Structure 1
Amino acid sequence: MSDGISDDVKDVLGVLTERIEARFGMDIGRLKAAVAAAPLAHPAATDVVKWHGLLAEAQSALDRAEDDLLAALETQPSEVDDPTMSLAHRVNAAVTTRDGRAMVVRWLLDPDAPGKKDPAAERLARPRSRTGPAVQTSAPHRPAGTPAPASARQPGRPVR
């Protein structure tokens, strides 16, 4: 894009791509091919490639949103109408998405990032299989005649 609006921020993708290539010692195309061929061989590379792809998608969505907004602004009189304002909100949402994904890529590339060194982060990073919900989603069955726990009683109502 040569309109100047996103040339500086578009470099976010370029800068992070360069950092990825430096970290893994190969260009992004080869890295993507390597991850596609063996996704479990290097989990860090797999995560980075996944998030780089999401970042690239977000950047493309932002570029389209900016182009649409610019086209609408060129036809506007001095006041901006509601459809054009909606386009501006779309640009803002696209920027937020792109920036969030860029933060994830930066975090993945930084071995000293907060939360990467403590044991809790390591436990969370390990994949786990679940057979059901993490918390109970319904009240436990109580036999007839068993009073409800105190926390379930409404104030001012007698227990039956």
Structure 2
Amino acid sequence: MSDELFDSTQDVVGVLTDQIEAHFDMDIAQLKAAVAVQPTASPDATEVVRWHGLLVGAQSVLDRAEDDLLAALETQPSEVDDPTMGLAHRVNAAVTARDGRALVVRWLLDPGAPGKKDPAAQRPGQLQRADRTGPAVQTSVAPRPASAPASAARTGKAAQR
């Protein structure tokens, strides 16, 4: 059973690769080649390919960290030493990085994900500019009335004395 769990968690890249291929209706290698030729043709495809590459890299780092930890654990007596705990922390950090990149790929593939719609649609309680019936709030300083400035009035009074 632990082998099944290990295989399923390690196959995050495979599952997301399958989802990418289904989403774009082409093999990941074909998609990467298409993006390399015309990166501006589909910004969505370009972003997915970029983040998929980051995900694959993170999985590779995780695989190496797990291998190093397993090798260290095989030589440990019943208590784990500090260097081996450091390897365990490295595995945890690698899992976090891989999972974070996986979340970004999933978000990129989900057209209805929060933040992907019109920003105004995300804030239903706020008025849109086009919906305003009156003028916007004044943001500049109000003009002064057409009278003599205070400093000129003072100088005039001082000159009369």
Q: TM-score, normalised by structure 1?
A: 0.71
User: 1:47-86 to 2 correspondence within 5 Å?
Assistant: 47-86=47-86
Residue 4 of structure 1 deviates from its aligned partner by 6.1
Counterpart CA distance in 1 for 2:116 and 2:87 is 38
Amino acid at match of 1:115: G
- SS for the counterpart of 2:11 is helix
Counterpart CA distance in 1 for 2:78 and 2:47 is 46
Residue 5 of structure 1 deviates from its aligned partner by 6.8
Q: Find the structure with the greater CA-based Rg.
A: 2
Q: Unpaired segments of 5 or more residues in structure 2?
A: 122-161
Task: Name the counterpart of 2:30.
Answer: 30
Amino acid at match of 1:59: Q
Amino acid at match of 1:103: L
Counterpart CA distance in 2 for 1:20 and 1:63 is 22
Give the % identical residues.
77
1:85-143 CA-partner distances (Å, limit 9, x unpaired): 0000000000000000000000000000011113369xxxxxxxxxxxxxxxxxxxxxx
- SS for the counterpart of 2:54 is helix
Counterpart CA distance in 2 for 1:81 and 1:5 is 26
How many aligned residue pairs are there?
120
What's the C-alpha RMSD, in Å, of the aligned pairs?
1.8
Task: Name the counterpart of 2:106.
Answer: 106
Distance change in 2, residues 1:120/1:65 (3 Å): farther
Amino acid at match of 1:75: T
Return the structure number with greater helix share: 2
User: 1:2-151 to 2 correspondence within 5 Å?
Assistant: 6-119=6-119
Counterpart CA distance in 2 for 1:7 and 1:85 is 23
Q: Unpaired segments of 5 or more residues in structure 1?
A: 122-160
1:27-83 CA-partner distances (Å, limit 9, x unpaired): 000000000000000000000000000000000100000000000000000000000
Q: Which aligned segments of 4 or more residues in structure 1 are displaced greater than 3 angstroms?
A: 3-6
Counterpart CA distance in 2 for 1:51 and 1:107 is 11
Distance change in 2, residues 1:41/1:98 (3 Å): same
